[in-house]
Amino acid sequence: MTAGFDVRWTPEHGPPRAVVFELSEDGKHWLRVEFEWTDEQWREIGRDHVTEVACFGSDDYIAPDGPRPRPVGGEDDE
């Protein structure tokens, strides 16, 4: 299992969305994948590699309901 985290939100107009950051297997970069909820599953709508990621938050974290979006494939699936 790779290290990573996701952020999910529901815009005022439109379906829920998510962005997932996962550390590559070689540990040299991060994969950022964006998803949109289709009422049945998470659909990938974009991805790119990033060199640095920082995550800041508070102790008031609320975990959303539903399945966690997951990137399909990996390094060779671009």
Structure-model confidence comparison of residues 3 and 32, the more confident one: 32
Query: Using CA of residue 10, residue 41, residue 61, residue 7, what is the dihedral sign?
Result: negative
**pTM (predicted TM-score):** 0.71
- Residue 40 CB contacts under 8 Å (≥ 6 apart), including other chains: none
How many helices (DSSP H) and strands (DSSP E) are in the chain?
A: 0, 4
pLDDT of residue 57: 72
Structure-model confidence comparison of residues 76 and 34, the more confident one: 34
* 27-68 pLDDT, tens digit each: 888 999 999 999 999 999 999 999 888 877 766 666 666 777
Structure-model confidence comparison of residues 38 and 72, the more confident one: 38
| Planar angle of CA 32, 38, 41, nearest 5 degrees | 70
**Nearest of 30, 21, 25 to residue 50 by alpha carbon:** 30
